[in-house]
Amino acid sequence: MKFQVHTKETAPEASRATVEATAKKYGFLPNLFGVLAESPTAVQAYAAINKALEQSALSPVEQQVVALTVSTTNDCAYCVGAHSTVAQMVRTPEDILAGLREQRPLSDRKLNALRTLVLSVMRHRGWVPEDDLEHFAAAGYGQRHLLDVLTIVALKTLSNYLNHIAHTQLDRQFASQAWSPKEGCTSCLTT
C-alpha cells in the first residue's frame, strides 16, 4: 500500500482546514500531516490532541521526554528526528536529548522517573505495576501528569505506527536530527 503525502492543494476537502492551520503553525506541512490528511478523521484527531497538549501539566521538555521515549522504543525514525528537533527548540538539555536518542537512563532524576514510567506503560500495555506508579509519584508527579503521559503515548503510537506503514520520509527541516534504530525495524528508516 503506497500512501500519498498530501499538500494543501491535494488534501481531501474535509482535511484542508487542518492541513492549512498546521502548515501555518510550523511554517511548512510536515510529511506526517501530509500522510494523515488522507483521512479527515485522523488528521483532525491528531491536530486536536496536539492542541490539547498545550494545556498539559507536563512541561514542554517533559512532553518531549515522553514523545521520544515512545518513538525510540517503537523504532520510529521519523518521529525521533522530528521530536529531537522540537526538543532542541524547547531547550531540552543536550545530555538529556542524547540519553533519549540512545535509549539510556537520564542524568536528571525526575526526567528519568518520567522516562521509566513511559517504558513501564509500554512494556506492561497499561498494566503498570504499583511500584512503578509509586516511583513516578515520588519524583513529584500526580494523576494529571499520568493522564497526560497516556495521552502522549496514544498520540505517538498513532504516528509511529502510521510512519512504519507509510514509510514516511523525514522532512528536510528535521534532517539534522535524523536517527536510525539500533537494530530491527527497517520499515521506518528514512532514505
Quote the CA–CA distance of 30 and 7 in Å, as a whole number: 10
Residues in the chain: 191
58-177, CATH topology level: AhpD-like (1.20.1290)
Per residue of the chain (191 residues), give pLDDT as tens: 999 999 999 999 999 999 999 999 999 999 999 999 999 999 999 999 999 999 999 999 999 999 999 999 999 999 999 999 999 999 999 999 999 999 999 999 999 999 999 999 999 999 999 999 999 999 999 999 999 999 999 999 999 999 999 999 999 999 999 999 975 444 333 32
CB under 8 Å, gap of 24 or more: what pairs does 132-140 form? 138/113, 139/109, 139/110, 139/113, 139/114, 140/110
Global pTM reads: 0.93
Quote the CA–CA distance of 74 and 188 in Å, as a whole number: 9
Which residues contact residue 30 at a Cβ distance below 8 angstroms, ignoring those fewer than 6 apart? 22, 82, 171, 173
**Where along the chain do its domains lie?**
13-53, 58-177
Q: What is the DSSP string of 86-117?
A: HHHHTT--HHHHHHHHTT---SSHHHHHHHHH
